[in-house]
């Protein structure tokens, strides 16, 4: 395989199809966990985003544009031009977020066309020797230690050299992007700027949070403040490019990496679903492409995707993609749509995109073929929002766990307080559902019975795609790892937090204020082993006990079945002497809120 990769890269050393004078600079901004609706131009009721709105108005806007349902798979698809199943990145947890080492990725391709390549921010497709961005074609790299955990005065590492930054993390990231651009001189540059905002944990400078407090709760105000800060920084970099006389020859691409997250209950652009769901809102993304004087601003409704970014940028830069690599690429160059006002120049109207949430327990890929899966053509989305039926899966915490709880009546889970039945809804088990998402973004009217031919066509296409890509995904590590081993390793590594601002805690320890029982409970709750506990993870641990406590199987708990009088009284909101599943869920949801000392929507072990 190494010989194959080297032969591909050698094959790139061919005459360029674009002269250096004609090569545009490229600034690619990718935000983390921002939703399609989280800009003023997309109808948000509270956000004011004048600078992103300016990009919107000055760009070719791909409004029927889709990414993967979660973070790492999207990033891997952007860098490779391959669906995440073909490149093997099927999760956000190790080792399934590691992009296989022999992949030839975008910065490597652009370098062969004379580009200087820079990366700033969140990588999340593998760490360690051979996996870091500096090992994968980036000439210049800058990121912060501890990723999303630290927001202010972060410890940065630029080109291997650490330094202490002052101020807010995303301000620093944009400063670093400007530094890279300025240092590039006359050489064409590709700058990949990937924010951590507005991903949890939530925090932003106070001046960005305060304007939202009059309209929403503290969590949502902080989330919106993080988005507002991104907008502020977009304005800064637009002004910088103008001051340096670079704006006319710099393409700016602005995208988000998956569906809505912490702002779900505030606004979701009328869509059903969020990050890590198969519904429309799980994968629809904004995609603004701006090149002043070259591309006339327009809205494009053709079905497009993150898979198209690599072939488009290679086309623009004059990269000769070798024949050996071309069959693995699954996207199309968007240049016809960028350069022409006539959308009929697009010749891929029959394209089908395939989606899969993919967050199954490692080793169980084969039984998850139809668990949270979809195929899309034009305006139609065929999906199954189902948990798997593999009993082995029930031994682990996974995305199937959430859907099983929703199936049993859960109303509050990740990102939503009370709307889980809608955004995480379970479709008819064992059947495909079909929706026209242009007319029905809330996915309320199933058209499968009315359109049997299209349903059959997309279902057959999905089966063919799965059978084709499955062995490749397995070979490239997409089902590797052990969920229990990963949880133990992450708990050991991530449980320690700073005991003082300057003294790190010893690995494997927990704060003195946390007893062993609380620590063990925390680790059981931390289903994805990321060192934090979400409300979904917290409530789920208790929710699973409801059937066992319901000794007579009547669907409610009476005091004899729930012998904790103070908690029973709090949970029995209708005061009828029993707890139904919704009241039981609400009890632990409120308990979570009580433990969440900083109100950021997640628990760390010291809050137990």
* Residues ≥6 apart with Cβ < 8 Å to 165: 144, 153, 154, 155, 156, 172, 175
* Residues ≥6 apart with Cβ < 8 Å to 57: 41, 297
Catalytic residues: 71, 124
Cα distance between residue 80 and residue 126, in whole Å: 14
Q: Are strands 60-62 and 298-300 parallel, antiparallel or unpaired?
A: parallel
Span 424-450, pLDDT tens digits: 999 999 999 999 999 999 999 999 999
Cα distance between residue 454 and residue 470, in whole Å: 24
Return the SS3 of 566: helix
Residue 505 has a pLDDT of 33
Enumerate the H helices of 169-327 as residue ranges: 169-183, 206-209, 218-243, 309-317
Cα distance between residue 147 and residue 84, in whole Å: 22
Residue 546 has a pLDDT of 82
* Residues ≥6 apart with Cβ < 8 Å to 416: 264, 265, 274, 423, 424
Cα distance between residue 375 and residue 320, in whole Å: 31
Span 306-342, pLDDT tens digits: 999 999 999 999 999 989 999 999 999 999 999 998 9
Q: Which two tokens mark 603? A: 């628990």
Q: Which two tokens mark 316? A: 């623009």
> What are the two backbone dihedrals, phi and then psi, of residue 525, each rounded to the nearest 5 degrees?
-70, -35
Q: Which two tokens mark 283? A: 């994968």
Q: Which residues of the chain have pLDDT under 50?
A: 1-7, 10-11, 13-16, 485-509
- Of 226, 220, 221, the C-alpha closest to 204 is 226
Return the SS3 of 266: coil
* Residue matched to tokens 């807010």: 168
Cα distance between residue 525 and residue 519, in whole Å: 10
Q: Which two tokens mark 218? A: 């503290």
Cα distance between residue 514 and residue 523, in whole Å: 12
Between helix 581-595 and helix 535-543 the angle, nearest 10°, is 140
Cα distance between residue 213 and residue 225, in whole Å: 10
426 DSSP 8-state letter: P
Strand order, beta sheet including 304-305? 284-285, 65-66, 304-305
Residue 608 has a pLDDT of 67
E strand or H helix that includes residue 399: helix 399-407
Residue 3 has a pLDDT of 36
Cα distance between residue 600 and residue 270, in whole Å: 25
Prior bond to 198 cis, omega within 30? yes
> What are the two backbone dihedrals, phi and then psi, of residue 374, each rounded to the nearest 5 degrees?
-160, 155
E strand or H helix that includes residue 191: strand 189-194
Long-range pairs for 515-519 at CB < 8 Å and ≥24 separation?
A: 518/605, 518/608, 519/495, 519/605, 519/608
pTM, to two decimals: 0.81
Could you tell me how many helices (H) and strands (E) the chain has, helices first?
A: 19, 21
Residues 65, 287 contacting (CB under 8 angstroms): yes
E strand or H helix that includes residue 546: helix 546-549
- Of 309, 347, 333, 91, the C-alpha closest to 190 is 309
Q: How many CA atoms does the CB half-sphere of 58 hold within 13 Å?
A: 18
Domains, the chain, with CATH or none? 2-6+17-340 (3.40.720.10), 353-475 (3.30.1120.10), 483-607 (1.10.238.10)
- Of 374, 476, 378, 424, the C-alpha closest to 97 is 476
Write the burial class of residue 15 (CB in 10 Å: 0-12 exposed, 13-18 middle, 19+ buried). Answer: exposed
Residue 27 has a pLDDT of 98
Give the angle 343-347-352 at the CA atoms, nearest 5°: 105
Residues 518, 608 contacting (CB under 8 angstroms): yes
């Amino acid at each position: 395989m190494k010989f194959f990769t080297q032969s591909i890269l050698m094959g790139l050393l061919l005459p360029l199809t674009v002269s250096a004078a004609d090569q545009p600079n490229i600034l690619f901004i990718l935000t983390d966990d921002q939703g399609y609706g989280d800009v003023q131009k997309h109808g948000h009721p509270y956000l004011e985003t004048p600078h992103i709105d300016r990009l919107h108005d000055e760009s070719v806007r791909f409004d029927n544009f889709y990414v993967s349902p979660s973070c790492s798979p999207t990033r891997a698809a952007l860098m490779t031009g391959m669906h995440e199943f073909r490149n093997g990145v099927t999760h956000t947890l190790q080792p399934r977020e590691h992009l296989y080492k022999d992949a030839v990725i975008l910065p490597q391709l652009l370098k062969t066309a004379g580009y200087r390549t820079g990366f700033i921010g969140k990588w999340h497709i593998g760490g360690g020797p051979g996996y870091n961005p500096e090992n994968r074609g980036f000439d210049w790299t800058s990121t912060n230690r501890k990723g999303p955990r630290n927001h202010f005065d972060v410890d940065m590492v630029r080109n291997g050299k650490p330094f202490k930054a002052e101020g807010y993390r995303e301000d620093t990231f944009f400063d670093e992007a400007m530094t890279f651009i300025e240092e590039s001189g006359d050489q064409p540059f590709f700058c990949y700027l990937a924010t951590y905002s507005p991903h949890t944990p939530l925090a932003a400078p106070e001046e960005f949070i305060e304007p939202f407090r009059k309209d929403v709760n503290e969590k949502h105000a902080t989330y919106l403040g993080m988005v507002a800060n991104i907008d502020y920084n977009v304005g800064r970099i637009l002004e910088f490019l103008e001051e340096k006389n670079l704006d006319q020859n710099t393409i700016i691409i602005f995208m988000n990496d998956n569906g809505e997250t912490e702002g779900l209950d505030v606004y979701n652009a009328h869509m059903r679903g969020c990050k890590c769901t198969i519904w429309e809102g799980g994968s629809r993304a904004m995609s603004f492409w701006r090149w002043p004087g070259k591309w006339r601003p327009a809205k494009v409704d053709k079905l497009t995707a993150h898979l198209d970014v690599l072939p488009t940028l290679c086309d623009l830069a004059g990269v000769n993609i070798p024949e050996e690599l071309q069959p693995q690429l699954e996207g199309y160059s968007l240049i016809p749509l960028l350069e022409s006002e006539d959308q009929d120049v697009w010749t891929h109207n029959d394209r089908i995109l395939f989606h899969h949430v993919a967050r199954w327990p490692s080793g169980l890929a084969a039984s998850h073929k139809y668990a949270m899966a979809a195929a899309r053509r034009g305006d139609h989305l065929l999906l199954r929002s189902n948990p798997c039926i593999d009993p082995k899966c029930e031994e682990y915490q996974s995305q199937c766990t959430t859907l099983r709880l929703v199936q049993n009546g859960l109303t509050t889970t990740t990102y939503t307080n009370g709307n889980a039945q809608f955004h995480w809804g379970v479709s008819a088990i064992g059947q495909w559902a079909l929706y026209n998402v242009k007319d029905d973004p809330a996915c309320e009217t199933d058209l499968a019975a009315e359109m049997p031919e299209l349903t059959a066509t997309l279902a057959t296409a999905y089966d063919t795609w799965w059978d084709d890509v499955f062995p490749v995904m397995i070979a490239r590590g997409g089902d590797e790892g052990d969920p229990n081993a990963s949880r133990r390793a992450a708990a050991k590594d991530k449980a320690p937090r700073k005991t003082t601002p300057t003294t790190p805690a010893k690995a494997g320890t927990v704060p003195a204020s946390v007893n062993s029982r609380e620590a063990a409970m925390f680790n059981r709750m931390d289903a994805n082993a990321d060192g934090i506990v979400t409300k979904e993870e917290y409530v789920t641990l208790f929710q699973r006990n409801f059937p066992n406590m319901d000794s007579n199987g009547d669907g409610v708990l009476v005091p004899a079945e729930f012998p904790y009088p103070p908690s029973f009284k709090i949970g029995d909101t209708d005061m009828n002497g029993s707890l139904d599943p919704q009241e039981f869920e609400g009890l632990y949801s409120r308990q979570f809120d009580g433990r969440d000392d900083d109100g950021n929507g997640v628990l760390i072990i010291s809050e137990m």
